[in-house]
Structure 1
């Protein structure tokens, strides 16, 4: 049998969420061993906590947690008797621990200096990252684990394939491409977060052009530009990347599971001062 340790390692390497289930306590005369563990993913279960109806119920609870995105570790007490098909009395306490729950599907458009600083930060978070650029030579030789490199002649075409509720970050080398990406992202309007690198002046220009294309002002308002946490100052790529990553974390912590156009990103409440982005744009790509 595939043991829970190997299964957990493999699932985490694959970026697949799972729940670790552990018998914490046995009360009364029961045949189960405290400390037994099993790992439950959306499709499979590995190892065993003793089988039977209790194990079946534990799998149901674990998969409900995965489906709902529940992140808290919790205990559940099961009375053993007729309700669990047991012939003996007693009780079992199980610990449910979510592991590797993906909280954000992130699409980063642009492999310039800021993109190369940002993507490794995102790779260390509970995120799945698509890193998209038309210039293969701009990508580093080593792509971080959990990041999918996409070399696309037409990056705008990749937007159709993004999951609903994605976190979209646009920071390409070309303002016209930034505008086309922005229009495509806003046209879908089902993102959890959309950030565009640049200054307030860039935002104003884009707002005018988007208005000319018929975009509603309320939809355009969801665009975060300048993006990043304003209190994190600096012109270095790493400094800008940290401010953007911090905003991503704040947003998914506030809104995990709200994958609709009506979800109100916490970024809207954060300061927007990011003049250093504008100052850095020429040097970053």
Structure 2
């Protein structure tokens, strides 16, 4: 449940769009509060789920709808969920996105005017006590302004690297840097939001990575993989995953010890990456890696939210 001005600004390069948000749920529903999609005349990004619900919402967004709409999923859509959702339709362009600032962004949906007392109080509690406000208060949306995107560095543009970028890049709140030794190793089309970094010796790019970045090392060379692990252990990282077998990891542990790294440091490297039960196909590896990353980020976000509510 966060609003990312940087992400919306990139999306606005395609032209103004309508953002459809699940603002409130009652009972069983396809998606949770805060789920959103962006709708242009010729494309969509994201999903609010529900099949018929989403199809109808897209049509209304393209017809220019703004404001709030409550939909009983059974009677109105013939869906088996049985619950109800309130959808918020908002039109965004570059000027409106530029007005998003502060830790929380509150605005009326499909209207204007001064914030009512309930919204003012909710914002004060969020600011002073860290209490997360409700997403929908009256006819006002209150969303947390997203912190900077999580930096993800993918080392290697081979089959697994390509599969991993293809799986991760549609996810929100990720800033993906993709490295390799030559432009010819990358596909002709780089997904939007992915930054390719090319260097004859990719290990020399390590100092450019934030100390909190999440790294996946899967290059064409065991020697380069080892050098990257060595340099990243000295540089610092959020998480570090290495592609490889048990025998490769045993050799790497021995060599990293010889390079002066302690067992405690080396144990922070996850090898192999992905979910072995899914198999060794590049896409299967990518699915396992992506699932673990999303789970980790969701758990971190849930812990932060619980901390705010406790405050």
Structure 2 length-normalised TM = 0.57
**CA offsets 1:16-42 (integer angstroms, 9 cap, x no match):** xx9x89987xxxxxxxxx988875534
Q: Is the 8 A contact 2:157 2:180 kept in 1?
A: yes
2:184 maps to: 137
**CA offsets 1:175-196 (integer angstroms, 9 cap, x no match):** 111111101111123x222100
2:100 maps to: 41
1:215 maps to: 261
2:228 maps to: 181
Q: Is the 8 A contact 1:179 1:206 kept in 2?
A: yes
Do structure 1's residue 149 and structure 2's residue 208 form an aligned pair? no
Partner Cα separation in structure 1 for residue 123 and residue 205 of structure 2: 36
Q: Does the residue aligned with 1:142 lie in a helix, a strand or coil? A: coil
- Aligned residue among 151, 168, 178 for 1:122: 168
1:206 maps to: 252
Do structure 1's residue 74 and structure 2's residue 122 form an aligned pair? no
Q: Is the 8 A contact 1:12 1:100 kept in 2?
A: no
Q: Does the residue aligned with 1:248 lie in a helix, a strand or coil? A: helix
Distance 1:197 1:148, change over 3 A: same
Structure 1 unaligned residues grouped into runs of 5+: 1-6, 25-33, 77-91, 259-285
Structure 2 counterparts to residues 23-102 of structure 1, below 5 A = 41-42=100-101, 50=112, 52=114, 61=123, 74-76=135-137, 94-97=140-143
**CA offsets 1:127-158 (integer angstroms, 9 cap, x no match):** 11100001210100001111111111221122
Q: Is the 8 A contact 1:228 1:247 kept in 2?
A: yes
TM superposition shift of 1:98: 5.3
Partner Cα separation in structure 1 for residue 264 and residue 154 of structure 2: 24
Structure 2 counterparts to residues 161-176 of structure 1, below 5 A = 161-176=208-223
RMSD between superposed Cα atoms in Å = 4.2
Q: Does the residue aligned with 1:168 lie in a helix, a strand or coil? A: strand
2:299 maps to: 254
Distance 1:13 1:131, change over 3 A: farther
Structure 2 unaligned residues grouped into runs of 5+: 1-5, 14-18, 24-65, 69-87, 304-311
Do structure 1's residue 10 and structure 2's residue 56 form an aligned pair? no
Misfit runs of 4+, over 3 Å: 7-14, 20-24, 34-55, 97-103
Q: Is the 8 A contact 1:73 1:98 kept in 2?
A: no
